[in-house]
A and B are shown apart, each in its own frame.
Chain A
Amino acid sequence: MSMIEDLIEPFEQDTMRASLDHCIKCTICETYCPFSNATPLFPGPKYVGPQAERFRDAGDHSPDMSLDLCSGCGICTQVCPQGVKIAEINSKARAKLWDERGVPLRNKILARPSVGGRLATPVAGPVNWALGNRLVRGVIERAAGVHRKAPLPRFAGRTFQTWARRHPSPVTDKTVVYFHGCSTNYFEPRLGEMAVAVLEHNGYRVIVPPQDCCGLPLQSNGSFGPARKYVRRLAASLAPYARRGHPIVATSTSCSLMLKREAREILDVTDPEVEEVGRQTYDICEFLLDLHDRGELEVDFDPLPISVPYHAPCQQRGHGMGKPALDLFGLIPELRIEELDVDCCGIAGTYGLKKEKYDISMSVGDRLFKTIEKMGPEVAACDSETCRWQITHGSGIASVHPIELLYRSYGL
């Protein structure tokens, strides 16, 4: 190849990387990055992103580890006025970094919640006890690098899939497919039951196909190969329904973003099957609000005379669909919602669980925690599971998915 072709080729193959040339150094990303604001160890999205990318040639190794402190929250891309795909550039560069240095075992384990779920569910009692025991956590921290205070969820001891297999969804002429995600399956099956109930209340038959992890934790921990395998397998489970025109509804805004966008933009997965599934993927609040816009949503909501703070997770905002949960809350009589205009809870999936990142993570979320704590509500609402667990951990306030408020208000 000629020298010109050598220079052009990487850019033709990667439009995310090519977008770095739009950077005008306005530094807006730096001001919004919750993580560079919390620690001087992370120079910020502009530095490790478009700036450093100019020095990261296809074959060269990455010069420094500060990139690893990027949480992948994606706020930088959301706020960039020039369309630089900063978070995507960082994610890919980080994967290369870990590729060179080898992904630590801890990250491999944290990145496979469905494996952990399958192993731990039958012995949930003892596992939960162990994970709640200070001494055991101290040992785990020293041996495996998971911070002793990290907000690990409790295994439910049963799976949502088991419940779904035994639950006959009334047959109607409207069908949706539920993409529940690992957290609903192994940690919060109740959420899945509520989501199904809300959808059925609106006249939908809910199909819950066998399904596994979307691969997001693998992606954010830099294991792109396994991440691609997982997302392709997930798409294969959901594709038959997508092809029939059935919407795929999800209750985790992180997992659904994987199907909608990140598989293509970060993992470079362009399989038609994944694209097809992505096009039919909806966040549950997005889906219900669309119903409402068409006049098809059941609005028999009972009053809920409580005050609830709502936090939109970073990846929820990455959908670019606004905050449909807020519009749905507006339909519930007497419900007072406080929209928290604070950017990030700090957990960033598995980031805040890690020994070396826990303090940064808690520092990032501090303003959010204090704001919620001061309000003293019964519950806080948030569309992503890891954020909910972090919010409860940091503020002491119970945290629910928005769908739970609808479930209560419908009187189901």
Chain B
Amino acid sequence: MGFPAVLGLDSARTVWQELNDTLGVPVFEIPTLPPSVPGNRMARALRAALTRAGGRVVMGGRVIRVRATGKRLEEVIVDAAARPKAYRARDFVLATGGFASRGLEMDSYGMVRETAFDLPVTGMPPDDDPRWAEEYLAAHPAARVGIGVDDELRPLDSGHEPVYDNVRVAGAALAGAEPWREKSGEGISLATGLRAAELILERRGE
């Protein structure tokens, strides 16, 4: 039996189990319009895991520039109250998303920018080729624009060389990612996010 995906936030497992037991049939959830309760469950679980592991979450800051030494990204500088704040790290994962989350922006000339690290974007059709399809929900060539990466998820420049060695890109920011057409936005995010983490740990030898 299918229910709208609102079966509990903190106690989802308990709610699901009770329904299963009471109804005597397998119970499943059908995704609804935003806000997504299952999405929220996942976000909470991930955030709790991060906090338990000693991580920090800083919300609402906008990256205004980065500082790098050659192919090593050193610092991300974030717009904070009164003064920009710099965050240093050994490794960085860019997961700022595509057009919907302003990770990518297109200006009135059709030029696309990656808004956090100003990484090169790829996938825009050549000038003479069509960018948009007629139908709203059709495959738009321009929608495949994003950050090109190598098989270690490192962002590439126009010569297909990694721009930074210690940056990985995950999620809808990637060139070719079309969450709304694949209907698997979470899939893209989780798969590439996990892979980015694995790559970082591999390189650190853990």
Q: Which residues of A contact B (CB under 8 A)?
A: 22, 24-28, 30-31, 77-83, 257, 259-261, 278-279, 281, 317-323, 326, 339, 341
State whether the Cβ of B100 lies closer than 8 Å to any Cβ in chain A: yes
- Tell which of B17-25, B54-62, B106-114 binds the partner: B54-62
Q: How far is the CA of A28 from the CA of B40 in the complex (A)?
A: 9
Given contacts A26-B34, A320-B81, contact A82 B60 (CB under 8 A): no
Chain B residues near A (Cβ < 8 Å): 34-35, 40, 47-48, 51, 56, 58-62, 78-83, 85, 87, 97, 100-102
Option from A28, A261, A320 in Cβ contact (under 8 Å) with B58: A320
- Is the beta-carbon distance between A261 and B59 smaller than 8 angstroms? no
Known contacts A319-B80, A320-B60: does B100 contact A24 (CB below 8 Å)? yes
C-alpha spacing A320/B78, complex, angstroms:
8
Which residues from chain B contact A31 at a C-beta distance below 8 Å? 35, 40
Q: How far is the CA of A77 from the CA of B61 in the complex (A)?
A: 10
Listed by A's residue number, 16 A-B pairs whose Cβ atoms lie within 8 Å are A27-B34, A28-B34, A78-B59, A78-B60, A79-B60, A81-B101, A260-B81, A279-B82, A317-B59, A317-B60, A320-B58, A320-B79, A321-B58, A321-B81, A322-B87, A341-B51
B34 surroundings in chain A (CB, below 8 A)? 25-28
Complex CA–CA separation, A279 to B81 (angstroms) = 9
Q: Is the CB of B60 within 8 A of A261?
A: no
A257 x B81 contact (CB < 8 A): yes
5 tightest A-B CB contacts, nearest first: A320-B80, A78-B60, A260-B82, A260-B81, A261-B81
Apart from A28-B34, A320-B58, what are 4 other A-B pairs with CB-CB below 8 Å?
A31-B35, A79-B59, A320-B81, A322-B87
**With A82-B101, A82-B102 in contact, is A278–B82 under 8 Å at CB?**
yes
- A83 touching B85 by the CB < 8 A rule? no
Assess whether B59 is in contact with A319, with CB atoms less than 8 Å apart.
no
Q: Which residues of A contact B79 (CB under 8 A)?
A: 320
Interchain CB contact under 8 A, A339 and B80: no
The answer for the CA separation of A323 and B50 in the assembled complex, in Å, is 15
Bound together, the chains give a CA A323 to CA B82 distance in angstroms of 16
Interface of B is mostly: loop
Q: Is A261 a contact partner of B35 (Cβ separation < 8 A)?
A: no
Inter-subunit contact B81/A318 (CB<8 Å): yes
Contact B85 A326 (CB under 8 A): no
Complex contacts, A319 vs chain B, CB 8 Å: 80-82
Residues of B within 8 A of A78 (CB): 59-60
CB distance from B45 to the nearest CB of A (A): 11
Q: How distant is A323 from chain B, measured CB to nearest CB, in Å?
A: 6
In the complex, which of the residues A25, A83, A317, A320 contacts B102, with contact meaning CB atoms closer than 8 Å?
A: A83
The answer for the CA separation of A57 and B101 in the assembled complex, in Å, is: 28
The answer to whether B56 and A323 touch across the interface, beta carbons within 8 angstroms, is yes
In the bound assembly, the distance between CA atoms of A121 and B79 in angstroms comes to 40
Q: What CA separation (Å) do A80 and B58 show in the bound complex?
A: 13
Given known A24-B100, A26-B34, A82-B101, contact A321–B85 (CB-CB < 8 A): yes
CB contacts (< 8 Å) of B47 on chain A: these are 341
Q: Is the CB of A81 within 8 A of B102?
A: yes
Instruction: Tell me the smallest distance from the CB of A87 to a CB of chain B, in Å.
Output: 10
B106 to chain A, nearest CB (A): 14
Residues of B within 8 A of A326 (CB): 56
- Residues of chain B within 8 A (CB-CB) of A27 are 34-35
Interchain CA distance A97-B87 in the complex, whole Å: 40
B58: A residues at CB distance < 8 A? 320-323
How far, in angstroms, from A407 to B100 measured CA to CA in the complex? 47
Bound CA span A27–B36, Å: 9
Contacts of B85 in A (CB 8 A): 320-322
Contacts of A261 in B (CB 8 A): 81-82
Which residue of chain B has the shortest Cβ distance to A76 in the bound complex? B60
Distance A278 CA – B81 CA, assembled complex (angstroms): 9
- Min distance, Cβ B149 to any Cβ of chain A, angstroms: 22
Given A31-B40, A83-B102, A279 and B60 touching (CB < 8 A)?
no
Could you say which of A22, A30, A321 contacts B80, with CB atoms under 8 Å apart?
Answer: A321
Q: How far is the CB of B10 from chain A (nearest CB, A)?
A: 9
Task: Specify the chain A residue showing the minimal Cβ separation from B80.
Answer: A320
A30 touches B35 (CB 8 A): yes
Tell me, in angstroms, the Cα distance from A201 to B112 when the chains sit together: 52
Q: How far is the CA of A170 from the CA of B74 in the complex (A)?
A: 39
Alpha-carbon gap, A77 to B60, bound state (A) = 7
Question: How near does chain B come to A154, taking the closest CB pair, in angstroms?
Answer: 31
Known: A257-B81, A317-B59, A321-B80. A28 touches B35 (CB 8 A): yes
CB A30 to nearest CB in B, in angstroms, measures 6
In angstroms, Cα B167 to Cα A387, docked, is 39
Report how far A320 CA is from B81 CA in the complex, Å: 6
